């Protein structure tokens, strides 16, 4: 009988072996399956290399194979025979199998065939599939003491597995337990490959660390026999030995063992090499715990020792896994069946083979429910988890038909969950085109994602869904898709995005736009760029390479998903085809065209944001990772009680005004509401998102680097009790609708679409919990109440901290806004589209806008007499009118005065783009038309985008008349005016003289920056904008009104017309050439800058900045204008990152009244610093917020507000402050570059608000709009 100590030691030894095998490493274990098979296939007699290689394969995939055999065969002895037979087949076929990465799928298919063969051969074994948990434990391995100890260890392992975050568990399950390659796992999970690698690495490291802390450590044995989780060592050794003998015996040999006989029968029965490695062989539904497998053991005493094998620690081996839900985790979802039927519209005929897929959104991320195909009756079933779902999407697609999608919001699912769904698909019209490279050669195998912006059927749950459908180009670069719904107009928009591994891809965002008529021709040509490389190396603080770091490189322009890769054994990384921005304006602020930010992650190091140089010949960029500073968080409710199971994700790393992250970190709080991000940055701030139902999600909550336990408070949605009455009678209104909205930064308007929900009230009463708010708003909340026959009304605003809101709303009878649309000739226009512009909003009418996305309730169509009628709104609104005859915009004031709308005819643009004498094909031209009416209080811009054809030509129809500015890769801004009904003939480039020159640094020591990082403009000189003194102190709206009126004067028109310029690019030797410069007086401005170290991981950073500003005269004539060598003026600027929790730097200034003001004298008070300037438009828009704050808190002795102006002239600030009547302290810092206070506070853009606590430490540093008031109130409440 085994003693208690002996039992514990035995079980601990088993678990340690299995755990070490999962996480160990070694030379052979680090090889791919293909490399191991190759070593085995070229084996030499007596050599140990082949035996070692095959042993690693058995250890790596043995658990999965054994699991398949045991689930198929009831008898455990027969299951182990089938297990051995599977690897005997592998040994015989090793030289003929083609393996790209993992042999796991091949082995899965063979093991199923072998087990089925064994089951068929033996009538004693019934054909049942059941999990390993249902098998009796082999005799000789159980005792009460052993069972108790095993149960304890099983609980430890199960608990630690449960603590792994969901994404880590999924990565480990697919890659380590199902044998998926990284690429396969990425496809199944819908993640980037880099995310799979990162989460797999983190999951392994996290599980290893957790088990080590619980005393289950693989480090006690450094070299182990070739074992795998749940795989008995004796079985592994016997299988490896038998496989070598079986492979060497030849095809005609016979081995006296059941396994060998079974392998021979399988080899004779089918061509094993043809077993598919595709996704159909995925091991789905493996639901066994790793701890349960501890109970498995050899079927008999160990055989005699096998020949010596070189000990190799195995890296990973697949093993079945289920993760039980720990006490602090959210409950498991309940699957609910949803019968789906797909038929042909009109005929009702079933569509067999239609593809139906489903997806639900859970807190923070989507969950793909998989895809199925309809049967002969056109039917299938979708299983969706009702719990934890915020929305449900079901998509149906069939060849030749337009896809359809059905979508339910959370409140829909709770109120009326769907019991069945029918899709009626219509035949689609083919659209297509050609994809070429920059040399005009076709690109095969490019993926074209198609988005048809079509008006779908207006009734029922299902709608046309023509978004993000992929099509592959053929050998001629052609693609075709039947995705255009019937009856679409010729100008319906078709958007495209392209992906190809050898060209610059577009993983997100549809930047290629066409009309339906263009795509109907099947000849639309799209050009993919070759791109440029980006090289780099990641090292630690001692300069040693960091292997396996994930590098996410941002895209030029700051938009779209990043491209990702991982560092190799030397710590190096390479991006082969990065998009190069065409101008310095196309990159994120402070970065020039050949420098892009990158997020670098590696467990154990600080998550860091560095910069990577891109371009041909660009030197390797080094990014240095500091030691990680973990950040601790505690999530609690308003009473301070811990919230367990809250999902915490990383929003952004920040330092100063800059930030970025593409981190994949995600985790849940424990039973005490605590969580730790182990790989926090060395310095700066981190913003987190927290989700936990039924609480409101919290977005962008800041915590300083190294915080031990930053507290985040989650609030329950407020309860609302709303009484709705008729204003004239006082009677309750029978039925009405309630829509929540959030206040906009300007403070006086609300966004009613941010939550996208509307609830119904009855009999004058509305009582509800506003759980549709979903996330905690940054501003005030209000409710809009609407009822048929009444004008909408808005409640008084309330704060989210108010747990119960009681309001009474009185509705007055509605008055429709009616009018008539007339064409330019004065005749009524039928069929014109009238769009509401709520508040002070506008809508772009250019081809870069998405007019079809405007909600139906905001648009009407004029009748045959040109008349329209619009429902009333709770706030004033304007309209935009669009028709073939022309367009119009009418503001709220003019709409209330006149019911007649006169259309302005469209303009047309026809142009050509040259560089020198060469037309430029395939280049993007952007045009922005300023159609702001005289006296308007807000700018109105209409954006257009067009690509030049093979001759460099471009055409734009339906252009809004106005003053236009065009940008091309070399020329821009290029200003011109286009009148109503006119055709503007525009030639960009192609004339003028080239301007050449060379910039030169004083020496390499003072400017250690490559010269080709410089970029800038050559702008035509013109005197400054004339702003009369009486505008000082006026509001932004008043200033805009003055400027728009002045623009209509002859002087204003000439001033705008002269706004011309050229993009300047500098080569590695400092030389530049600016083509096609027209005669005139210009100013050449070039900038070059570099910061030491990483951008966001240091408290103090030094920037070396070099600039050139030089007057350039371009006279009439031919030939280049040579500017010669231009020396750079170099200066060193210190930037400080001021993080939350840091002590605010002291300053002493003189106020506008001549009194001294010193920050240190304000200790004991809450201090709000406001950095601003009179020339800053956003600063002026924010002024009402500070006036309201001063009115509310200015009388509190514990609070002070200090305005810090960055105006060059103190008098400008003085006039403005006096005109506005500001009552708080004001001081002038002077020009930005000369202000040490702005530098000390890390102010690199304005407006900027910094809130300082009574202890002199920073409470918040990037507040905007209503957040400022809330932060002040919170600080004073403490």
- SS3 letters across 331-347: CCCCEEEEEEEEEECCC
pLDDT at 130 over 60: no
Average pLDDT over residues 189-213: 65
160 phi/psi in degrees, rounded to 5: -70, -35
CB-count burial class (<10 Å; 0-12, 13-18, 19+) for 801: middle
DSSP 3-state assignment of 1100? strand
pLDDT at 76 over 50: yes
pLDDT of residue 124: 40
Architecture of domain 719-811: Sandwich (2.60)
pLDDT of residue 1022: 64
In Å, how far are 20, 230, 287, 327, 473 from 290, measured between CA atoms?
Answer: 14, 8, 10, 19, 45
Query: What is the number of alpha carbons within 13 Å of residue 105 lying toward its C-beta?
Result: 24
Counting residues of the chain whose pLDDT is more than 90, the rounded percentage is 20
Q: Which two tokens stand for residue 1205?
A: 């102006």
Average pLDDT over residues 1267-1273: 81
CATH homologous superfamily for the domain 429-528: Carboxypeptidase-like, regulatory domain (2.60.40.1120)
Return the DSSP state at 851. G
pLDDT of residue 934: 57
Enumerate the CATH 3.40.30.10 domain ranges in the chain, comma separated.
Answer: 1138-1277
Q: Name every residue whose Cβ is closer than 8 Å to that of residue 1166 and which is 6 or more positions away in sequence.
A: 1198, 1199, 1200, 1251, 1252, 1253, 1254, 1259, 1272, 1275, 1276
- Which candidate, 758, 795, 751, 796, places its Cα nearest to that of 777? 751
DSSP 3-state assignment of 1048? coil
CA end-to-end span of the chain = 66
Choice between 1159 and 147, residue whose per-residue pLDDT is larger: 1159
CA distance 1194 to 1199: 7
Strand partners, 225: none
> Residue for token digits 């049967």?
375
Return the DSSP state at 305. P
For the ranges 8-12, 665-669, 718-722, 1209-1213, which has the lowest average pLDDT?
A: 8-12
187 phi/psi in degrees, rounded to 5: -65, -40
DSSP 3-state assignment of 145? helix
In Å, how far are 599, 633, 683, 794, 1103 from 679, measured between CA atoms?
Answer: 13, 13, 12, 46, 27
Greatest Cα-to-Cα distance within the chain, rounded to the nearest angstrom? 107
859 phi/psi in degrees, rounded to 5: -140, 145
pLDDT of residue 855: 65
* Other Cβ atoms within 10 Å of 900 Cβ, number: 10
Architecture of domain 817-902: Sandwich (2.60)
pLDDT of residue 914: 93
Strand 804-811, strand 719-726: pairing:
parallel
Strand partners, 833: 861, 882
Task: Label residue 294 by pLDDT band (50, 70, 90).
Answer: very low
Write down the CATH number for the domain with range 632-713: 2.60.40.1120
CATH homologous superfamily for the domain 335-425: Carboxypeptidase-like, regulatory domain (2.60.40.1120)
pLDDT of residue 885: 94
pLDDT at 1086 over 50: yes
3-state helix, strand, coil in the chain (%, to 5): 25, 35, 45
- Which candidate, 658, 697, 698, 655, places its Cα nearest to that of 680? 655
Instruction: Give the range with max mean pLDDT: 96-105, 218-227, 566-575, 585-594.
Output: 566-575
CA distance 172 to 180: 10
- Which candidate, 363, 466, 15, 449, places its Cα nearest to that of 221? 15
- Which candidate, 330, 410, 335, places its Cα nearest to that of 165? 330
The packing angle between helices 4-23 and 193-213, to 10°, is: 160
DSSP 3-state assignment of 1059? coil
Enumerate the CATH 2.60.40.1120 domain ranges in the chain, comma separated.
Answer: 335-425, 429-528, 532-624, 632-713, 719-811, 817-902
Task: Label residue 865 by pLDDT band (50, 70, 90).
Answer: very high
481 phi/psi in degrees, rounded to 5: -145, 135
pLDDT at 689 over 90: no
> Does the domain spanning 532-624 belong to CATH 3.40.50.300?
no
For the ranges 24-38, 309-323, 1203-1217, which has the lowest average pLDDT?
A: 309-323
pLDDT at 1112 over 50: yes
Choice between 33 and 322, residue whose per-residue pLDDT is larger: 33
Choice between 151 and 184, residue whose per-residue pLDDT is larger: 184
CA distance 899 to 868: 10
- Which candidate, 395, 266, 414, places its Cα nearest to that of 342? 395
8 Å CB contact between 787 and 735: yes
CB-count burial class (<10 Å; 0-12, 13-18, 19+) for 927: buried
- Which candidate, 811, 812, 813, 805, places its Cα nearest to that of 722? 805
Instruction: Give the angle 447-448-449 at the CA atoms, nearest 5°.
Output: 115
- Which candidate, 209, 215, 231, 210, places its Cα nearest to that of 149? 215
pLDDT of residue 897: 74
pLDDT of residue 219: 33
Counting residues of the chain whose pLDDT is more than 70, the rounded percentage is 70
pLDDT at 1155 over 80: yes
Which residues of 275-390 form beta strands (DSSP E)? 335-344, 355-362, 365-373, 379-385
pLDDT at 559 over 50: no
Architecture of domain 993-1022+1058-1133: Sandwich (2.60)
Task: Label residue 115 by pLDDT band (50, 70, 90).
Answer: confident
pLDDT of residue 98: 64
**For 424-445, what is each residue's pLDDT tens digit?**
999 988 999 999 988 899 999 8
pLDDT of residue 782: 85
pLDDT of residue 479: 93
Q: What is the CA radius of gyration of the chain?
A: 35
User: Does pTM top 0.85 for this prediction?
Assistant: no
E strand or H helix at 499: strand 493-499
Task: Label residue 494 by pLDDT band (50, 70, 90).
Answer: confident
Architecture of domain 1138-1277: 3-Layer(aba) Sandwich (3.40)
pLDDT of residue 1180: 81
CA distance 194 to 561: 13
pLDDT at 648 over 80: yes
Strand 900-902, strand 817-822: pairing:
parallel
pLDDT of residue 205: 67
CA distance 21 to 293: 14
Task: Label residue 765 by pLDDT band (50, 70, 90).
Answer: very high
Task: Label residue 261 by pLDDT band (50, 70, 90).
Answer: confident
pLDDT at 608 over 50: yes
CA distance 119 to 112: 10
pLDDT of residue 109: 73
CB-count burial class (<10 Å; 0-12, 13-18, 19+) for 98: exposed
Kindly write down the DSSP assignment for every residue of 923-970, as one continuous string: -EEEEEEE-PPTT-SS--EEEEEEE--TTSEEEEEEEPPEEEEEE-SS
């Amino acid at each position: 009988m085994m003693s208690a100590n002996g039992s514990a030691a035995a079980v601990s030894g088993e678990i340690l072996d299995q755990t070490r095998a999962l996480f160990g490493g070694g030379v052979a274990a680090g090889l791919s399956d293909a490399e191991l098979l190759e070593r085995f296939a070229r084996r030499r007699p007596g050599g140990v290399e082949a035996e070692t290689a095959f042993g690693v394969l058995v250890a790596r995939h043995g658990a999965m194979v054994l699991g398949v055999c045991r689930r198929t065969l009831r008898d455990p002895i027969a299951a182990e025979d089938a297990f051995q037979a599977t690897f005997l087949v592998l040994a015989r076929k090793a030289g003929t199998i083609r393996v790209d990465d993992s042999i796991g799928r091949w082995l899965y298919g063979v093991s199923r065939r072998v087990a089925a063969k064994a089951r068929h051969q033996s009538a004693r074994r019934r054909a049942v599939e059941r999990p390993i948990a249902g098998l009796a434990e082999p005799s000789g391995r159980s005792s009460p003491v052993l069972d108790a100890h095993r149960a304890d260890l099983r609980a430890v392992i199960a608990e630690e597995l449960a603590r792994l975050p969901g994404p880590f568990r999924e990565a480990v399950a697919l890659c380590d337990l199902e044998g998926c390659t990284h690429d396969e796992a990425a496809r199944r999970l819908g993640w980037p490959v880099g995310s799979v690698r990162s989460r797999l690495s983190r999951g392994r490291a996290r599980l290893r660390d957790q088990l080590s802390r619980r005393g289950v450590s693989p480090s006690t044995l450094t070299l182990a026999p070739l074992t795998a989780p749940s795989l008995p060592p004796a079985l592994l050794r016997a299988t490896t030995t038998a496989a070598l003998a079986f492979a060497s015996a030849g095809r005609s040999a016979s081995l006296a063992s059941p396994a060998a006989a079974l392998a021979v029968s399988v080899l004779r029965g089918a061509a094993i090499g043809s077993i598919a490695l595709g996704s159909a062989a995925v091991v789905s539904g493996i639901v066994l715990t790793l701890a349960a497998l501890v109970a498995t053991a050899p079927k008999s005493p160990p055989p005699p020792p096998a020949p010596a094998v070189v000990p190799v620690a195995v890296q990973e081996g697949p093993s079945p896994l289920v993760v039980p839900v720990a006490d602090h985790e959210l409950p498991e979802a309940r699957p609910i069946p949803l019968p789906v039927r797909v038929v042909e519209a009109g005929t009702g005929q079933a569509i067999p083979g239609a593809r139906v897929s489903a997806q639900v959104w859970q807190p923070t991320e989507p969950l793909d429910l998989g895809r199925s195909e309809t049967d002969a009756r056109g039917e299938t079933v979708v299983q969706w988890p009702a719990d934890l779902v915020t929305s449900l999407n079901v998509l149906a697609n069939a060849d030749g038909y337009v896809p359809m999608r059905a979508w339910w919001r959370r409140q829909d699912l709770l109120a009326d969950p769907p019991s069945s769904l029918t899709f009626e698909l219509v035949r689609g019209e083919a659209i297509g085109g050609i994809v070429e490279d920059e040399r005009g050669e076709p690109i095969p195998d490019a993926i074209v994602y198609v988005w048809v912006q079509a008006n779908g059927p207006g009734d029922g749950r299902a709608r046309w869904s023509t978004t993000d459908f992929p099509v592959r180009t053929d050998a001629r670069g052609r693609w075709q898709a039947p995705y255009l719904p019937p009856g679409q107009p010729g100008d319906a928009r078709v958007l495209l995005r392209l992906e190809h591994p050898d060209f610059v891809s577009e993983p997100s965002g549809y930047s290629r736009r066409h009309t339906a008529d263009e795509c109907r021709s099947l000849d639309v040509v799209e050009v993919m760029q070759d791109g440029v490389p980006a090289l780099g190396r990641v090292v630690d603080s001692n300069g040693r390479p960091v292997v396996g770091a994930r590098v996410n490189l941002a895209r030029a322009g700051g938009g779209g998903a990043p491209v990702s890769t991982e560092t190799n054994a030397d710590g190096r990384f390479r991006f082969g085809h990065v998009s190069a921005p065409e101008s310095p304006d196309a990159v994120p602020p402070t970065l020039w065209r050949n420098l892009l930010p990158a997020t670098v992650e590696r467990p154990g190091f600080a998550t860091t944001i560095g910069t990577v140089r891109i371009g041909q010949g660009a030197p390797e960029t080094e990014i240095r990772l500091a030691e990680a500073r973990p950040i601790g968080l505690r999530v609690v409710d308003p009473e301070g009680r811990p919230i367990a199971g809250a999902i915490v994700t990383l929003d952004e790393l920040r330092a100063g005004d800059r930030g970025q992250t593409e981190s994949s970190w995600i985790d849940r709080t424990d039973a005490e509401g605590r969580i730790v991000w182990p790989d926090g940055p060395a310095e700066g701030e981190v913003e987190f998102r927290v989700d936990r139902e039924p609480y409101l999600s919290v977005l962008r909550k800041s915590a300083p680097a190294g915080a031990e336990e930053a507290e985040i408070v989650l609030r329950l949605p407020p309860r609302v009790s709303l009484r709705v009455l008729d204003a004239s009678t006082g009677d309750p209104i029978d039925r009405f609708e309630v829509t929540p909205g959030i206040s906009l930064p300007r403070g006086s308007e609300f966004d009613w679409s941010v939550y996208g929900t509307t609830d119904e009230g009855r009999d004058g009463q509305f009582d509800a919990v506003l759980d549709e708010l979903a996330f905690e708003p940054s501003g005030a909340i209000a409710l809009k109440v609407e009822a048929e026959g009444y004008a909408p009304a808005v409640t008084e605003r309330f704060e989210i901290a108010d747990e119960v809101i009681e309001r009474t709303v009185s509705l007055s009878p509605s008055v429709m806004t009616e009018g008539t649309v007339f064409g330019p000739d004065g005749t009524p226009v039928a069929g014109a589209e009238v769009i509401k512009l709520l508040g002070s909003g506008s809508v772009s009418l250019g081809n870069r806008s998405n007019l079809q996305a405007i909600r139906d309730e905001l648009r009407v169509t004029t009748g045959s007499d040109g008349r329209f009628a619009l429902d009333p709104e709770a706030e004033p609104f304007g309209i935009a009118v669009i028709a073939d005859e022309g367009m119009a915009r009418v503001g709220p004031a003019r709409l209330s005065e006149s019911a007649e709308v006169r259309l302005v005819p469209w303009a047309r643009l026809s142009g050509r783009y040259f560089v020198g004498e060469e037309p430029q094909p395939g280049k993007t031209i952007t045009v922005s038309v300023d159609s702001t009416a005289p006296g308007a209080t807000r700018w109105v811009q209409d954006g257009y985008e067009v690509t030049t054809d093979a001759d460099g030509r471009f055409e734009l129809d339906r252009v809004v008349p106005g003053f236009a500015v065009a940008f091309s890769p070399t020329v821009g801004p290029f200003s011109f005016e286009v009148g109503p009904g006119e055709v503007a003939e525009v030639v960009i480039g192609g004339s003028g003289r080239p301007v050449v020159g060379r910039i030169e640094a004083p020496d390499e020591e003072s400017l250690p920056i490559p010269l080709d990082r410089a970029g800038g403009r050559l702008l035509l000189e013109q005197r400054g904008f004339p702003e009369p003194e009486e505008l000082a102190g006026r509001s932004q709206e008043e200033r805009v009104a003055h400027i728009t009126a002045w623009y209509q004067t002859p002087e204003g028109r000439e001033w705008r017309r002269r706004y011309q310029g050229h993009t300047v690019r500098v080569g590695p030797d400092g030389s530049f050439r600016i083509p096609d410069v027209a005669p005139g007086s210009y100013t050449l401005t070039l900038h070059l800058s570099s910061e030491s170290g990483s951008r966001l991981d240091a408290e103090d950073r030094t920037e070396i900045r070099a600039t050139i500003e030089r007057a350039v005269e371009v006279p009439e004539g031919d030939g280049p204008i040579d500017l010669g060598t231009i020396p750079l003026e170099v200066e060193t600027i210190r930037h400080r990152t001021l993080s939350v929790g840091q002590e605010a730097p002291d300053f002493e200034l003189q106020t506008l009244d001549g009194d001294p003001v010193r920050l240190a004298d304000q200790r004991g008070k809450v201090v709000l610093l406001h950095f601003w300037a009179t020339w800053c438009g956003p600063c002026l828009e924010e002024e009402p917020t500070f006036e309201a704050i001063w009115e509310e808190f200015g009388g509190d002795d514990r609070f002070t507000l200090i305005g810090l102006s960055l105006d060059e002239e103190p008098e400008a600030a003085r006039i403005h402050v006096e005109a506005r009547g500001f009552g708080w302290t004001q001081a002038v810092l002077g020009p930005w570059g000369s202000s040490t206070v702005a530098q000390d506070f890390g102010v690199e853009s304005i407006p900027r608000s910094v809130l300082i606590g009574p202890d002199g430490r920073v409470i918040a540093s990037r507040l905007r709009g209503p957040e400022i008031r809330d932060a002040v109130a919170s600080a004073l409440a403490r």
